[in-house]
Chains A and B, each alone.
Chain A
Amino acid sequence: MTATLGRAVAPSPAPPARRGRGARGRRRWTVLAFLAPALIGFTIFFAYPLIATVYYSFTRYDLVNAPEWIGFDNYVRMFTTEPLVGTAAWNTLWLVVVLTVTRVLFSLGVASVIARLKRGVGLIRTLCYLPALAPPAAATLAFVFLFNPEFGPVNRFLRLLGIDGGLWFNDPAMSKPALTLLVLWGSGELMIIILAALLDVPQEQYEAAELDGAGPLRRFWHVTLPTISPVLLFGVVNSIIFALQFFTQAVVASAVASGSSDVAGNTKYIGAPQNSTLTYPVWLYVQGFRYFNMGYAAAMAVLLFVVSFAFTWILVRQLRKASAVEGGA
């Protein structure tokens, strides 16, 4: 689901000064009653597993035998002897960079066009947004078909233009770009967010800039961009987190494109072609839940946590700064 940023709750005014003990006690119980499920859920499904993951990362654990403490062995193995984790990390890094940049720029581009439309805005906005709702597994299946090297519509269209279409999901060099196109097709949510921000830019500022003789490019650079920069930063954070957990599309595309007979139980085709779609979360999944190296998977999870936390931390601080400069908050 969308990862989102929020500002902290505004400091609350002190509760009414004079109040009986009983009332305050009752109040505490009321708050607790409202929060009880959430607190239990948070503890069981986030706090506990987060701590337990760190513990498991120092063990050898196969789910059957008791966890065996092995110190830093999993981490050492990750950074030295195990080759595929490097491939997986590289693929994820590729996605973090390329997906984030293209997704934000593409969404900004489409939103800018929609923002300038006078007629048919509703229809075109809907058409651009709808793919974002398509289930990732179904969308991936559709794209594997569309990009089929022999009979896919994409290569057929390219042939009309005299271009020799590639092998796409069957070519290690083209598989990640093809996945990127699939993601761009479904980036309607970010488009809508950016569109809302674009429409919020005060019209007077444009008129003032126009009177000062600023052309469209200068207006975009000096008026639009500074105003919507917090939203663009949100898009960057959101896209990085999305890229760091990229899983479904990679698994389905590799399996279906290579003609696998079964996605769920089969590791043979995961990462196909030639491990080019083996992302970090996919390899974590295979290590933990196919090979049952739970300790090793936990060590991978700890690294994933550190990296995603660092990214979000840096960007959230930037976002705060940006919105403070803008004077909004």
Chain B
Amino acid sequence: MVAVTERPRAVKPVERRKQSWDRRLQWVATHAIGLALGIGFTLPVVFVLLTAVMASDQAMTASLWPAEWHFGNFVKVFEQAPLLDYLVNSLTYSLLATLGILLSAIPAAYALAKLRWRGQNLFFMLTVAAMMLPPQVVVVPLYDLWVRLGFTGSLVPLIVPYFLFDAFSVFLLRQFFLTIPRDYLEAAKIDGCSEFTAMVKVLVPMAKPGIAATAMFCFLYTWNDYFGPLLYTGENRDGWPLSLALASFRGMHHVEWNLTMAATALVMAPVIVLFAFAQKSFVRGITFTGVKG
């Protein structure tokens, strides 16, 4: 149980015993705090789930444990609101955007990481700047543009940009591509591969974990996005993704808190499932964005 650390021989036995007790105490204390933190972070979700299966009148009381377990609440949610339509909208937005960045960001990141050209530094700095720009800064002319093109009320203004440029994805992919030795690409090119074939056949397979992480971040960001859909689909309920629908859910049919929490849990679930399958690439991607910059 206790991690015994080797101490230098010269230390006197009494002192050694004292130190070992100190270490044990420290071990217990840090693990207790760690456990408390883990529980603390989990509790909100536990309460959401417990409330989600309560009867509606119990959800309005201060009791924490369901007196009866109403698992049917999760089904009721779908009856109260066209949740399936919203789910389809969310999936359309997230999946198409993710497909978009795979098509657009991989070549751009390849050019930044593996090709040499004038203006490379400048373009990289601009990408970083674009990434840091609050979306609200550029939103007025963009909205104007999409109104003129007649696409407001739909998901088109949200999806199309991903097929051309997404600063964060280009940045993250570049960071991953930099870690792949140039030698492999050179070898492929000596064998007669074009730059494009070298990218598709050599770099992409080698960078799979990085590409997967980027795709997941894109999926997550679009799944969670609220500002974009509010702006472009706000007036048109049929175009709403889940994030937007959920925020209006409670008021929409004067639904009770238990159903609201059931809906909340349902919107959180896919993200957690995604994470469960791909924990490693998530963590790798996160440390890449912050540390290996």
Contacts and interface: CB of A to CB of B under 8 A. Distances in A.
Contact of B264 (A40, A138, A197): A138
A41 B164 contact: yes
B190 interface: no
Given A3-B131, A56-B141, A262-B251, A136 B226 contact: yes
Interface stretch (A78-86, A94-102, A141-149): A141-149
Contacts of A259: 251
A127 B291 contact: no
Contacts of B171: 4, 6
A173 interface: no
A235 B131 CA distance: 15
Contacts of B180: none
A180 interface: no
Contacts of B89: none
Contacts of B80: none
Interface-centre pick from A49, A123, A143 (highest chain B CB count, 10 A) = A49
B291 A141 contact: no
Contacts, number: 333
Given A141-B260, A245-B134, A38 B164 contact: yes
B124 interface: yes
Contacts of B286: 2, 189, 192-193
B275 A145 contact: no
A203 interface: no
Contacts of A247: 136, 226-227
A5 B293 CA distance: 6
Contact of A53 (B131, B137, B260): B137
B164 A40 contact: yes
Nearest to A110: B37
Interface stretch (B9-17, B67-75, B103-111, B205-213): B103-111
B202 interface: no
Interface in B81-127: 103-105, 107-108, 110-112, 115-117, 120-121, 123-127
B192 interface: no
Interface-centre pick from A30, A37, A40, A245 (highest chain B CB count, 10 A) = A37
A117 B264 CA distance: 32
A272 interface: no
A53 B135 CA distance: 12
Q: Could you say which interface size class chain A belongs to?
A: 35 or more
B134 A241 contact: yes
B128 A5 contact: yes
A304 B44 contact: no
B244 interface: yes
B165 A256 contact: no
Contact of B107 (A34, A185, A288): A34
Nearest to B51: A145
Contacts of B121: 8-9
A116 to B, nearest CB: 5
Nearest to B287: A196
Contacts of A143: 44
Given A37-B164, A133-B220, A256 B290 contact: no
Contacts of A225: none
Contact of B252 (A30, A117, A262): A262
B246 A138 contact: yes
A180 B225 CA distance: 19
Contact of B247 (A46, A141, A193): A141
Interface of A is mostly: helix
A81 B257 CA distance: 41
A328 B124 CA distance: 21
A250 to B, nearest CB: 11
Nearest to B134: A245
A256 B246 CA distance: 10
A42 interface: yes
Given A262-B251, A289-B231, A234 B290 contact: yes
A301 B62 contact: no
Contact of A137 (B138, B195, B244): B244
A146 B62 CA distance: 10
A108 to B, nearest CB: 13
A137 B195 CA distance: 43
Contacts of A52: 140-141, 144
A255 interface: yes
Interface in B134-166: 134-145, 147, 161, 163-166
19 contacts: A6-B128, A30-B194, A30-B195, A41-B165, A46-B138, A113-B37, A114-B37, A124-B37, A124-B38, A127-B37, A135-B243, A145-B48, A152-B62, A192-B286, A251-B226, A251-B230, A264-B230, A264-B235, A294-B140
Given A1-B221, A6-B124, A234-B290, 16 more contacts: A46-B167, A118-B27, A131-B41, A133-B271, A135-B246, A137-B246, A138-B264, A142-B44, A146-B44, A151-B59, A193-B291, A255-B247, A256-B247, A261-B251, A289-B234, A301-B140
> Across chains A and B, which 8 residue pairs bring their CB atoms closest together, nearest first?
A41-B165, A41-B164, A193-B290, A52-B141, A261-B251, A38-B108, A49-B138, A245-B134
